Amino acid sequence: MTRLSVNINKIATLRNARGGNLPDVEKAAVDIQGFGAEGITVHPRPDERHIRYADVRLLRPLVTTEFNIEGNPIPSFVDLVLEVVPEQVTLVPDAHDAITSNAGWNTLKHKDFLTDICRRFREKGIRTSIFIDPDPDMAEGAAACGADRVELYTADYAAEYVLDPDVAVARYLETAKAARSCGLGVNAGHDLNLDNLGFFIRTIPWTAEVSIGHALISDALYLGLEQTIRAYLGEIRKK
Protein backbone atom coordinates (compact mmCIF):
# COMPACT_ATOMS: atom_id res chain seq x y z
CA MET A 1 0.00 0.00 0.00
CA THR A 2 1.38 3.38 -1.01
CA ARG A 3 1.82 5.76 1.92
CA LEU A 4 0.86 9.44 1.81
CA SER A 5 3.45 11.78 3.31
CA VAL A 6 2.26 15.37 3.51
CA ASN A 7 4.83 18.09 2.91
CA ILE A 8 4.03 20.92 5.33
CA ASN A 9 6.39 23.55 3.90
CA LYS A 10 3.50 25.66 2.59
CA ILE A 11 2.00 25.86 6.06
CA ALA A 12 5.30 27.27 7.30
CA THR A 13 5.40 29.69 4.35
CA LEU A 14 2.05 31.12 5.41
CA ARG A 15 3.19 31.43 9.03
CA ASN A 16 6.42 33.16 8.06
CA ALA A 17 4.65 35.67 5.83
CA ARG A 18 3.05 37.30 8.87
CA GLY A 19 5.33 36.36 11.73
CA GLY A 20 4.15 34.80 14.94
CA ASN A 21 2.87 31.23 15.03
CA LEU A 22 -0.29 31.23 12.92
CA PRO A 23 -0.81 28.74 11.44
CA ASP A 24 0.87 26.51 13.97
CA VAL A 25 3.18 24.15 12.08
CA GLU A 26 3.48 21.68 14.95
CA LYS A 27 -0.28 21.45 15.45
CA ALA A 28 -0.76 21.04 11.71
CA ALA A 29 1.61 18.06 11.68
CA VAL A 30 -0.24 16.40 14.56
CA ASP A 31 -3.62 17.04 12.95
CA ILE A 32 -2.50 15.81 9.53
CA GLN A 33 -1.45 12.50 11.07
CA GLY A 34 -4.73 12.35 12.94
CA PHE A 35 -6.60 12.82 9.67
CA GLY A 36 -4.95 9.69 8.27
CA ALA A 37 -1.73 10.75 6.55
CA GLU A 38 1.03 8.21 7.01
CA GLY A 39 3.97 10.58 7.08
CA ILE A 40 5.17 14.15 7.43
CA THR A 41 7.71 15.63 5.01
CA VAL A 42 9.72 18.81 5.54
CA HIS A 43 12.28 20.46 3.30
CA PRO A 44 14.36 22.96 5.28
CA ARG A 45 16.38 25.31 3.12
CA PRO A 46 19.34 27.45 4.23
CA ASP A 47 17.35 30.71 3.97
CA GLU A 48 14.58 29.19 6.15
CA ARG A 49 11.89 30.82 4.02
CA HIS A 50 9.45 28.11 5.08
CA ILE A 51 10.43 25.21 7.36
CA ARG A 52 13.19 26.25 9.73
CA TYR A 53 15.84 24.05 11.28
CA ALA A 54 14.23 24.81 14.65
CA ASP A 55 10.90 23.49 13.31
CA VAL A 56 12.53 20.20 12.42
CA ARG A 57 13.77 19.75 15.96
CA LEU A 58 10.37 20.60 17.44
CA LEU A 59 8.53 18.31 15.04
CA ARG A 60 10.66 15.22 15.69
CA PRO A 61 8.87 14.06 18.87
CA LEU A 62 5.46 14.92 17.40
CA VAL A 63 5.76 12.82 14.24
CA THR A 64 4.53 9.37 15.19
CA THR A 65 4.09 8.06 11.65
CA GLU A 66 7.13 8.58 9.42
CA PHE A 67 9.33 11.67 9.40
CA ASN A 68 10.91 12.42 6.02
CA ILE A 69 13.43 15.25 5.83
CA GLU A 70 14.42 16.26 2.32
CA GLY A 71 17.05 18.68 1.10
CA ASN A 72 20.45 19.27 -0.38
CA PRO A 73 23.03 17.49 1.81
CA ILE A 74 25.16 20.53 2.61
CA PRO A 75 27.05 20.20 5.92
CA SER A 76 24.42 21.98 8.04
CA PHE A 77 21.66 19.79 6.58
CA VAL A 78 23.64 16.60 7.18
CA ASP A 79 24.31 17.64 10.78
CA LEU A 80 20.60 18.37 11.33
CA VAL A 81 19.51 14.99 9.98
CA LEU A 82 22.10 13.13 12.03
CA GLU A 83 20.92 15.01 15.12
CA VAL A 84 17.18 14.48 14.57
CA VAL A 85 17.37 10.94 13.12
CA PRO A 86 14.19 10.78 11.02
CA GLU A 87 12.90 7.55 9.54
CA GLN A 88 13.87 8.77 6.07
CA VAL A 89 16.07 11.40 4.46
CA THR A 90 15.60 12.35 0.81
CA LEU A 91 18.61 13.85 -0.95
CA VAL A 92 17.64 16.64 -3.35
CA PRO A 93 20.21 18.60 -5.41
CA ASP A 94 18.44 21.97 -5.28
CA ALA A 95 20.38 25.22 -5.32
CA HIS A 96 20.11 27.50 -2.28
CA ASP A 97 18.02 29.99 -4.25
CA ALA A 98 15.74 27.50 -6.01
CA ILE A 99 12.04 28.33 -5.75
CA THR A 100 11.32 24.62 -5.67
CA SER A 101 13.13 21.40 -6.56
CA ASN A 102 13.59 21.25 -10.31
CA ALA A 103 15.84 18.29 -11.13
CA GLY A 104 17.11 15.01 -9.81
CA TRP A 105 20.63 13.88 -9.06
CA ASN A 106 23.03 12.59 -11.67
CA THR A 107 23.90 9.57 -9.58
CA LEU A 108 26.73 8.56 -11.91
CA LYS A 109 28.51 11.92 -11.92
CA HIS A 110 28.11 12.39 -8.16
CA LYS A 111 28.59 8.76 -7.14
CA ASP A 112 31.47 9.32 -4.70
CA PHE A 113 29.72 12.17 -2.90
CA LEU A 114 26.38 10.38 -2.66
CA THR A 115 28.00 7.13 -1.56
CA ASP A 116 29.64 8.89 1.37
CA ILE A 117 26.40 10.64 2.36
CA CYS A 118 24.39 7.41 2.15
CA ARG A 119 26.97 5.65 4.30
CA ARG A 120 26.77 8.30 7.01
CA PHE A 121 23.00 8.11 7.21
CA ARG A 122 22.93 4.33 7.02
CA GLU A 123 25.25 4.17 10.04
CA LYS A 124 22.55 6.04 11.99
CA GLY A 125 19.82 3.70 10.77
CA ILE A 126 18.20 6.34 8.55
CA ARG A 127 16.61 5.14 5.32
CA THR A 128 18.06 7.15 2.43
CA SER A 129 16.22 8.06 -0.75
CA ILE A 130 17.82 9.84 -3.71
CA PHE A 131 15.72 12.23 -5.81
CA ILE A 132 16.14 11.33 -9.50
CA ASP A 133 14.73 12.14 -12.90
CA PRO A 134 12.90 9.31 -14.74
CA ASP A 135 15.99 7.58 -16.11
CA PRO A 136 16.81 3.90 -15.44
CA ASP A 137 20.53 4.69 -15.41
CA MET A 138 19.99 7.10 -12.53
CA ALA A 139 18.10 4.43 -10.59
CA GLU A 140 20.91 1.95 -11.11
CA GLY A 141 23.39 4.64 -10.09
CA ALA A 142 21.44 5.29 -6.88
CA ALA A 143 21.66 1.60 -6.00
CA ALA A 144 25.41 1.71 -6.56
CA CYS A 145 25.61 4.66 -4.14
CA GLY A 146 24.04 2.58 -1.39
CA ALA A 147 20.61 4.23 -1.34
CA ASP A 148 17.58 2.39 -0.01
CA ARG A 149 15.08 4.13 -2.30
CA VAL A 150 14.75 6.61 -5.10
CA GLU A 151 12.17 9.37 -5.31
CA LEU A 152 10.99 9.94 -8.85
CA TYR A 153 10.75 13.63 -9.74
CA THR A 154 7.26 13.74 -11.22
CA ALA A 155 7.05 17.30 -12.60
CA ASP A 156 7.28 16.10 -16.21
CA TYR A 157 4.67 13.43 -15.57
CA ALA A 158 2.26 16.03 -14.21
CA ALA A 159 2.84 18.38 -17.14
CA GLU A 160 2.42 15.65 -19.77
CA TYR A 161 -0.46 13.85 -18.07
CA VAL A 162 -3.04 16.32 -19.36
CA LEU A 163 -1.99 15.50 -22.94
CA ASP A 164 -1.54 11.72 -22.78
CA PRO A 165 -1.38 9.82 -19.47
CA ASP A 166 0.18 6.70 -20.99
CA VAL A 167 2.99 8.66 -22.62
CA ALA A 168 3.47 10.73 -19.48
CA VAL A 169 4.00 7.73 -17.23
CA ALA A 170 6.05 5.54 -19.59
CA ARG A 171 9.53 6.71 -18.53
CA TYR A 172 8.52 6.55 -14.88
CA LEU A 173 7.35 2.99 -15.22
CA GLU A 174 10.61 2.01 -16.92
CA THR A 175 12.64 3.71 -14.19
CA ALA A 176 10.54 2.21 -11.40
CA LYS A 177 11.09 -1.26 -12.87
CA ALA A 178 14.84 -0.62 -13.01
CA ALA A 179 14.83 0.55 -9.39
CA ARG A 180 12.88 -2.50 -8.26
CA SER A 181 15.26 -4.81 -10.11
CA CYS A 182 18.13 -3.21 -8.17
CA GLY A 183 16.37 -3.81 -4.87
CA LEU A 184 15.39 -0.17 -4.36
CA GLY A 185 12.09 1.09 -3.02
CA VAL A 186 10.30 3.69 -5.13
CA ASN A 187 8.91 7.00 -3.87
CA ALA A 188 7.46 9.80 -5.99
CA GLY A 189 6.82 13.48 -5.62
CA HIS A 190 6.38 16.89 -7.23
CA ASP A 191 3.20 18.27 -8.79
CA LEU A 192 1.18 15.16 -7.98
CA ASN A 193 -2.46 16.10 -7.39
CA LEU A 194 -5.99 14.71 -7.23
CA ASP A 195 -6.19 14.55 -11.02
CA ASN A 196 -3.00 12.62 -11.79
CA LEU A 197 -2.16 10.73 -8.60
CA GLY A 198 -4.46 7.75 -9.00
CA PHE A 199 -3.27 6.89 -12.50
CA PHE A 200 0.36 7.01 -11.39
CA ILE A 201 -0.27 4.66 -8.45
CA ARG A 202 -2.31 2.22 -10.52
CA THR A 203 0.44 2.12 -13.16
CA ILE A 204 3.25 1.71 -10.62
CA PRO A 205 1.47 -0.06 -7.75
CA TRP A 206 4.70 -0.82 -5.89
CA THR A 207 5.22 2.91 -5.24
CA ALA A 208 6.08 2.92 -1.54
CA GLU A 209 5.35 6.56 -0.79
CA VAL A 210 4.21 9.80 -2.37
CA SER A 211 5.20 13.14 -0.89
CA ILE A 212 2.68 15.88 -1.68
CA GLY A 213 2.59 19.43 -0.41
CA HIS A 214 1.74 22.34 -2.71
CA ALA A 215 -1.30 20.82 -4.41
CA LEU A 216 -2.64 19.26 -1.23
CA ILE A 217 -2.41 22.46 0.82
CA SER A 218 -3.93 24.41 -2.09
CA ASP A 219 -6.86 21.98 -2.24
CA ALA A 220 -7.31 22.35 1.51
CA LEU A 221 -8.19 26.03 1.03
CA TYR A 222 -11.40 24.85 -0.61
CA LEU A 223 -12.05 21.42 0.88
CA GLY A 224 -10.56 21.75 4.34
CA LEU A 225 -7.47 19.89 5.48
CA GLU A 226 -9.15 16.75 6.80
CA GLN A 227 -11.35 16.27 3.75
CA THR A 228 -8.41 16.91 1.43
CA ILE A 229 -6.28 14.24 3.07
CA ARG A 230 -9.17 11.80 2.82
CA ALA A 231 -9.50 12.65 -0.88
CA TYR A 232 -5.82 11.98 -1.55
CA LEU A 233 -5.93 8.73 0.38
CA GLY A 234 -8.98 7.78 -1.66
CA GLU A 235 -7.06 8.30 -4.89
CA ILE A 236 -4.17 6.22 -3.61
CA ARG A 237 -6.42 3.35 -2.53
CA LYS A 238 -8.70 3.39 -5.54
CA LYS A 239 -8.61 0.14 -7.46
The catalytic residues are: 43, 70, 190
Classify residue 118 as exposed, middle or buried by CB count within 10 Å of its CB (0-12, 13-18, 19+). Answer: buried
Q: CA separation (Å) from 203 to 50, 134, 167, 196, 200?
A: 33, 14, 12, 11, 5
Q: What does the buried/exposed string (b/e) look like for 199-231 if buried means 16 or more CB atoms within 10 Å of the residue's CB?
A: bbbebbeebbbbbbbbbbbebbeeeebeebbeb
173 φ, ψ to 5°? Answer: -65, -45
Radius of gyration of the chain (CA): 17
